[in-house]
Amino acid sequence: MVIGKNRETKLIVDLAAITHNIQHERQILAESVEMFAVVKANGYGHGILTVAKTALNAGATGLCVAILDEALALREAGIAVPILVLGITSPAVAEIAAKAKISLTVGSVEWLKEYEHQSNATEPLNVHLGMDTGMGRIGFRDVEEVKTAEQILKSDIFNFEGVFTHFATADQQDAEYFDQQFEAWYQLTGALTDLPKYVHVANSATSLWHLPVTGNMIRLGIAMYGLNPSGLAIKDLPYELEPAAELVTKLDFVKQIQAGNSVSYGAAYTAKNDEWIGTVPVGYADGYPRCMTGFYVLIDGQRCEIIGRICMDQMMIRLPKQYSIGTKVTLIGFQGDQQIGATEIAEYAGTINYEIMTSIAERVERIYK
């Protein structure tokens, strides 16, 4: 991995904002409810190790990741708290998790039988049973299979640590499907003789808009980074979310072009008048969507249009006047009374703020304040 430390493009992460979001979420939870911080996908683009340590200092008691390698990186960094891998891990490598005391999600009886058959682990494997209550992704869907799984988990090679589900529509106004999933959750967990240590159903959206639907642990993801999980669908929030990241750069080339001159690939943009054009060292290889032509960045506290096709490593901006090379350019964040947020970018790009943040390339240097 090469990090661009010698160019001006930076993702500035405000750790105080992450702390703010966690502590305000903590205030609306029952005291008995634990919080696991979701730091998968490089901490939603913010940097997995620094975010994990910040979240734990702010009150989180555990961490969630997507793949085993993310969990192992956290262990190698000396983080000893419970870590849950939310995706499915192959039984062939599950002994690695057992040795590192990393918890794995299991969604089928077949997985448990395969691990039981091949395991030579000296440590029990921590298991969270995933329940598919309507997400349609992974997990148990049948009551009898849940009962079978519980019996297998009585083996000494397992530690039945948790059970959970994931709501598909917790970030929508209409709660009908959410309620259907909740009913399915009760049916599936009702098949268990005893509930394990961790019972968790709440992601960010559930914890913001569906309390007290929590179990005894929540998984705080996008809200921890200060972004609304619903995008623009639900604007009422129990506390103000503080966005943690700014994507900034500087003008590295400025020129005046004449009417009739074209800019960037395909000559798709042609100036109608004489114009000042600035070039900035950000492109789609940095995770900024190529489709953002016609959108804006902030320069000198005002919105300036992106013109021409966005290149792999650069883009061009129409300036209202001549600016000096080195002038600050904000792609995500504040300048003066203007703001461009990840959600606004996502709306323009036809996606969600999650994708905008997790797409920011690792070559973009993270600066923490």
DSSP lists the bridge partners of residue 12 as 246, 367
Instruction: Report how far residue 123's alpha carbon sits from residue 236's, in angstroms, rounded to the nearest whole number.
Output: 46
Phi and psi, residue 290, nearest 5°: -65, -25
318 is in an annotated binding site: no
Q: Which residues are catalytic?
A: 40, 265
Tokens read off for 139: 């997990």
191 burial type by CB count under 10 A (0-12 exposed, 13-18 middle, 19+ buried): middle
Q: Work out the angle between the directed axes of helices 176-189 and 143-152 (0-180°, nearest 10).
A: 40
312 is in an annotated binding site: yes
Tokens read off for 232: 């623009």
**Strand-pair category, 34-38 with 217-220:** parallel
Q: Is the dihedral of CA 50, 54, 55, 61 positive or negative?
A: positive
85 in Cβ contact with 97 (< 8 Å): yes
Looking at residue 287, its amino acid is: G
User: Residues annotated as binding site?
Assistant: 137, 312
User: Residues annotated as binding site for substrate?
Assistant: 137, 312
